[in-house]
């Protein structure tokens, strides 16, 4: 039985989440901004049609925002994460295997489904159920390989006549789409590699699929050879239904305004460390190495530039927020220098290992058990809807001075932010 994959991708996901709870925004251009409201990280269809580019600083499009009544939102990751979880749970009900590829897309295994339902009908059913149950519009690309499913999904979005579903299970349809797909739109190729491929006369996805495989491997890599095989309909990338544990956890952020004092920096670094430790516990891992980075801005010629980092091994692998914050604070003190206006700080936890493999300190076992219970209690409270608990070193300004002036309510996770009508 040949393999069949589907890629389900939410259309303009962040912008769709924002308009979902504000019907008055339907058909209005929407942009979502990065942390600290710096640049555009998501756009609605209408904003794309106005020519707004990804990554453009918001101050460069202020005139367009006023002229076209563009709705502007700060990134609301609590809302996007919850809506993503709802979409993914629907997909898991409809397909035997699901690989969550990102916050707004997932690969599905459809092998065997065609024996009792046409693949196109399945794609339509997915679109209808996700739309009805969540209000989010998705497109579905179906093909015998993940790379072809990516292209099919792209076509489903690009061509309205498809109805949001493209089935590439037949080779004739594959070749037709490959012939009109520029080489830089192939999954994993990108702009730099496409320049080198065009020098060889490979202009389209079909050109890559038909190129000599041995030459691709010798000139480029086995990865590109595998991509070409996938474009030929030969499945080389399996569905990954088990997420690999992270190798490192990073929490960093640019400040909304320059920071000079060590006390302010210490609170920010403590908050970043606590967030990283919370992620570490969620992965049921411990870390053996901790590093802290600190830098000024690089683009103001009137300000001195400084950048530094420090790293330390931990005596015992841990995911305890208090222990990690104490070490991070010590590192920060070592690299902080007075007289600079700092723009960004960050924390990285590395050399991760499963929590159960952590080497316990036999002389401190009762205290470690108590600390572990404390961390679990903090995580339970912070994961709920009735408030937050913070380590004292984090201070009271818990957004790390992050600018989020246009943050929408947490419609789906906080009762007190649900509008009354």
Q: Residue 327 maps to which CATH number? A: 3.30.1490.100
Give the pair of three-digit tokens for residue 64: 């367009």
Give the pLDDT score at 379: 57
Which of 169, 199, 220 is the C-terminal boundary of a domain? 169
Would you say residue 401 has pLDDT above 70? no
Give mean pLDDT, residues 180-203: 91
Both 220 and 336 in one domain: the answer is no
Binned at pLDDT 50, 70 and 90, residue 380 comes out as: low
> Whole-prediction pTM value?
0.68
- Residue 417 is assigned to a structural domain of this protein: no
Give mean pLDDT, residues 66-87: 90
Both 143 and 154 in one domain: the answer is yes
d(CA 216, CA 280): 40
- Residue 403 is assigned to a structural domain of this protein: no
Both 3 and 152 in one domain: the answer is yes
Q: Which range has the worst mean pLDDT, 121-130, 281-290, 394-403?
A: 394-403
Comparing CA positions, the residue from 261, 186, 271, 263 lying closest to residue 229 is 186
How many domains would you assign to the chain?
3
- 73, 31 Cβ separation under 8 angstroms: yes
Q: Which range has the worst mean pLDDT, 151-165, 204-218, 241-255?
A: 241-255
- Residue 370 is assigned to a structural domain of this protein: no
Which of 137, 169, 201 is the C-terminal boundary of a domain? 169
Would you say residue 1 has pLDDT above 60? no
Q: Residue 213 maps to which CATH number? A: 1.10.150.20
Residues in the chain: 421
Which of 129, 151, 169 is the C-terminal boundary of a domain? 169
Largest pairwise CA distance in the chain: 71
Would you say residue 107 has pLDDT above 90? yes
Give the pLDDT score at 362: 45
Both 117 and 180 in one domain: the answer is no
Q: Residue 101 maps to which CATH number? A: 3.30.70.270
- Residue 412 is assigned to a structural domain of this protein: no
Give mean pLDDT, residues 210-234: 93
- Residue 367 is assigned to a structural domain of this protein: no
Taking only the tens place, the pLDDT of each residue in 349-374 is: 988 888 765 444 444 445 555 666 66
Give the pLDDT score at 131: 96
Both 226 and 265 in one domain: the answer is no
Both 63 and 185 in one domain: the answer is no
Both 340 and 217 in one domain: the answer is no
Taking only the tens place, the pLDDT of each residue in 267-306 is: 999 999 999 999 988 888 899 999 999 999 876 788 899 9
247 or 106, which is more confident: 106
Give the pLDDT score at 244: 56
SS (H, E, C) 105-167: EEEEECCCHHHCCCHHHHHHHHHHHHHHHHCCCEEEEEECCHHHHHHHHHHHHHCHHHCCEEE
Both 65 and 30 in one domain: the answer is yes
Both 305 and 381 in one domain: the answer is yes
Would you say residue 100 has pLDDT above 60? yes
Where does residue 344 rank: exposed (0-12), middle (13-18), buried (19+ CB within 10 A)?
middle
Q: Which residue range(s) make up the domain with 4?
A: 1-169
Binned at pLDDT 50, 70 and 90, residue 378 comes out as: low
Relative orientation angle of helices 146-158 and 171-179, to the nearest 10 degrees: 60
d(CA 299, CA 283): 37
- Residue 411 is assigned to a structural domain of this protein: no
Both 93 and 4 in one domain: the answer is yes
Interstrand relation of 40-43 and 5-10 (parallel, antiparallel or unpaired): unpaired
Backbone angles phi, psi at 139, to 5 degrees: -115, 150
- Residue 58 is assigned to a structural domain of this protein: yes
Where does residue 250 rank: exposed (0-12), middle (13-18), buried (19+ CB within 10 A)?
middle
Both 339 and 307 in one domain: the answer is yes
d(CA 221, CA 214): 10
Token look-up 């890629």 returns 7
Give the pLDDT score at 297: 82
Give the pLDDT score at 77: 81
DSSP 185: G
Q: Which range has the worst mean pLDDT, 242-256, 361-375, 402-416?
A: 361-375
The H helix count followed by the E strand count for the chain is: 14, 12
Both 216 and 278 in one domain: the answer is no
- Can you say how many angstroms the Cα of residue 223 is from the centroid of all Cα atoms in its chain? 23
Give the pLDDT score at 218: 92
- Residue 76 is assigned to a structural domain of this protein: yes
d(CA 355, CA 376): 13
Strand order in the sheet with 138-143: 97-102, 105-109, 5-10, 138-143, 165-167
CA distances from 285 to 125, 351, 353, 381 (A): 39, 10, 5, 20
* Sign, CA torsion 133/134/136/142: negative
Would you say residue 234 has pLDDT above 70? yes
Binned at pLDDT 50, 70 and 90, residue 215 comes out as: very high
Give the pLDDT score at 363: 43
d(CA 414, CA 408): 12
Give the pair of three-digit tokens for residue 354: 């499963």
SS (H, E, C) 319-358: CCHHHHHHHHHHHHHHHCCCCCCEEEEEEEEEEEEEHHHC
């Amino acid at each position: 039985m040949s393999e069949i994959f589907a890629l389900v991708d939410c259309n303009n996901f962040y912008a769709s989440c924002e308009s979902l709870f504000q019907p008055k925004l339907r058909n209005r251009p929407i942009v979502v901004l990065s942390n600290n409201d710096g640049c555009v990280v998501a756009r609605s269809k209408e904003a794309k049609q106005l020519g707004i580019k990804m990554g453009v600083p918001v101050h460069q499009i202020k005139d367009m925002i006023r002229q076209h009544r563009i709705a502007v939102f700060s990134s609301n990751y609590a809302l996007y994460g919850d809506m993503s979880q709802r979409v993914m749970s629907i997909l898991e009900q409809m397909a035997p295997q699901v690989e969550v590829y990102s916050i707004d897309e997932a690969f599905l295994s459809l092998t065997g489904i065609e024996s009792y339902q046409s693949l196109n009908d399945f794609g339509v059913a997915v679109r209808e159920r996700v739309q009805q149950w969540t209000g989010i519009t998705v497109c579905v690309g179906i093909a015998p390989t993940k790379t072809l499913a990516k292209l099919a999904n792209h076509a489903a979005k690009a061509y309205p006549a498809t109805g949001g579903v493209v089935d590439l299970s037949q080779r004739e349809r594959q070749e037709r789409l490959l012939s009109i797909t520029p080489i830089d739109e192939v999954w994993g190729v990108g702009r730099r590699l496409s320049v080198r491929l065009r020098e060889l006369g490979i202009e389209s996805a079909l050109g890559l699929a038909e190129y000599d495989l041995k030459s691709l491997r010798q000139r480029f890599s086995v990865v590109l050879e595998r991509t070409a095989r996938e474009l030929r309909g030969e499945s080389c990338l399996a569905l990954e239904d088990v997420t690999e544990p992270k190798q490192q956890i990073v929490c960093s952020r640019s400040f909304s305004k320059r920071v000079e004092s060590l006390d302010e920096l210490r609170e920010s670094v403590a908050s970043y460390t606590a967030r990283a430790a919370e992620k570490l516990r969620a992965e049921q891992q411990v870390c053996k190495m901790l590093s802290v980075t600190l830098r000024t801005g690089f683009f103001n010629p009137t300000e001195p530039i400084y950048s530094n980092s420090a790293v330390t091994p931990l005596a015992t692998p841990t995911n305890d927020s208090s222990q990690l914050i104490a070490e991070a604070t010590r590192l920060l003190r070592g690299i902080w220098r007075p007289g600079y206006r700092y723009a960004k700080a960050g924390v990285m936890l590395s050399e991760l290992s499963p929590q159960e493999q952590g080497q316990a300190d036999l002389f401190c076992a009762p205290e470690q058990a108590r600390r572990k219970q404390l961390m679990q209690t903090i995580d339970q409270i912070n994961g709920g809807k009735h408030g937050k608990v913070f380590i004292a070193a984090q201070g009271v300004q818990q957004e790390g001075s992050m600018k989020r002036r246009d943050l929408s309510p947490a419609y789906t996770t906080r009762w007190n932010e649900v509008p009354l009508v």
